[in-house]
Copies of this chain bind each other. A is one copy, B any other.
Amino acid sequence: MKTSLSFILILFSYSFCVAQTDEAALKTIYKQSLTNGKSYQWLGYLSNTIGGRLSGSTNAELAVQYTKKELEKLGLDKVWLQPVMVPKWVRGEKEMAYFVSNNEFNKVNICALGGSVATPENGLKAKVIEVGSYEDLKDLGEAKIKGKIVFINRALQPDLINTFEAYGGCSVERYRGAAEAAKYGAVGTIVRSLSSRQDDYPHTGSMSYGDLPIEKRIPSAAISTNDAVKLSEALKQNKDLEFFFEMSCQQFDDVQSYNVIGEITGNEFPNEYIVVGGHLDSWDLGDGAHDDGAGVVQSMDVLRLLKESGIKPKRSIRVVLFMNEENGLRGGRKYAEVAKAKGEKHVFALESDSGGFTPRGFSFDGSELMLQKIDAWRPLFKPYLIHYFEKGYSGADIGPLKDDGILLAGLRPDSQRYFDHHHAANDTFEHVNKRELELGAATMTALVYLVDKYGVETTLKMKEIKD
């Protein structure tokens, strides 16, 4: 009875002190971000002064140098570049496409998919066969596909609340469509843009030919959602219409690039690492403000906000700006490879790669014990309207760090507008709201603060205390 009572008292006073202090810490963090944040200013530079940062491009290297320099100004314990070889794919001239229907010329908004081969120099013109999914190709067979352009017209499912789920349901069409269509003798593929809006922006993104020999590779492009509807309508009128497109994209040899890393060394467990990051590369059509400029500047600000809030981490906190998430994931793989080779113990990694919109919470990938612990922190986040704590996917770049001892997490901002901009020319700075971006940075910082302070496994093991 006595043990039990003192245990309850200890627990009570412990919880009470912790709760008070943590509430105050979170308040300071959010206030710092909303009144003294740097994320928006950094994003302005990355987006407007540098612009799109496709792996292997000059802009990507400018972004490496800029973010390294900015991290160096923060007075971190270490800032360094981690070399990584990345693919270099170049779009070339702006693509062109049209079809003629009922004697009417229809210009089509089109862009090459990342990794695609070019069309012949004077373009490619062929009849079109429309499918709802690459899976339909098998049934159609070579007889109906050979010599044609395959048009994969699959829209994002609008009644899914989480737009990432809708995107996930379609992205395979973009990624594998050309490889599958080529098997049946198609001469090209065009894919409806993976956009949640009806508009005129084509959305690029990575595609792969798998193990298809070079000579069998066919050009692959995305057309805008409005053009997909128009083309589909026109095909209903005239299934023999011809579609023309011209692209001069090209794949070069891999080039040298870098992950950019900064560290605050922990004062109690310096050999336990917490990573917070986003990816520095972007597609080339817009300026990559949401994907993933937002994640980059938020991650940078996590370390700065910890410092500005007077928090001295126990564990070593690293910001990692990964190179080449979009078309290779070389940066994410390299970071994990080096960490493993050095035997660095990573306990937690958090990625922001879902846009700079109002944060709603996190998805977590870890053990049940870890998830239970995190879940107990919900009340601390309630004043900031952070409510989403669910098991789920974390982020592409931190994925390679996965093992039994680490908790992975992804920031989950409101997803409704993300795929209006994703991989398109309208992924630009003006579509990022300063407060929303800063709330995201603060929310990430708050979680990093808690994980650093308490670890991800239960520190207060009831069984041990009772024994």
Cross-chain contact A358 with B197 (CB below 8 angstroms): no
Interface size range of chain A in the complex: 20 to 34
- Known A360-B385, A387-B387, A388-B385: A196·B161 in contact at CB below 8 Å: no
- Specify which chain B residues have a CB less than 8 angstroms from the CB of A163 in the assembled complex: 435
Q: What's the least CB distance linking A28 to chain B, in Å?
A: 10
Q: Is the CB of B414 within 8 A of A358?
A: yes
- A91 vs B158: C-alpha distance when bound (angstroms): 42
A436 adjacent to chain B (CB < 8 Å): yes
B-facing residues in A161-185 (Cβ within 8 Å): 161-163
Number of copies: 2
Per a CB cutoff under 8 Å, which of B158, B161, B434, B436 touches A383?
B161
A439 at the B interface (CB under 8 A): yes
Q: Are B30 and A384 in contact (CB under 8 A)?
A: no
Q: Is the CB of A34 within 8 A of B159?
A: yes
User: A457–B196 Cα gap in the complex (Å)?
Assistant: 40
Report A369 CB to chain B, min CB distance, Å: 24
A31 at interface by CB-CB < 8 Å:
yes
Find chain B residues with CB under 8 A from A360 CB. 385
Give the distance in Å from the alpha carbon of A383 to the alpha carbon of B417 in the complex: 18
Chain A, residues 364-407, CB within 8 Å of chain B (1/0): the string is: 00000000000000000001110110000000000000000000
> By the criterion CB–CB under 8 Å, are B439 and A417 in contact?
no
- Contact code string A425-443 (vs B, CB < 8 Å = 1, else 0): 0000000011110010000
Minimum C-beta distance from A57 to chain B (A): 31
A35 to chain B, nearest CB (A): 5
Beta-carbon contacts under 8 Å, A191-238 to B: 196-197
B434 and A197: CB pair below 8 A? Answer: yes
Task: Evaluate contact between B388 and A417: CB separation under 8 angstroms.
Answer: no
Interface centre among A30, A158, A162 (most CB of B within 10 A): A158
Q: A385-B360, A387-B387, A388-B385 are in contact. Are A158 and B416 (CB under 8 A)?
A: no
Cα A388 to Cα B358 in complex, Å, equals 15
Q: Which residue of B lies closest to A161 (CB)?
A: B384
Contacting pair B161 A439 (CB below 8 A): yes
In the complex, A308 has a CB within 8 A of chain B: no
Chain A residues in the interface with B (C-beta under 8 A): 30-31, 34-35, 158-159, 161-163, 196-197, 358, 360, 383-385, 387-388, 414, 416-417, 420, 433-436, 439
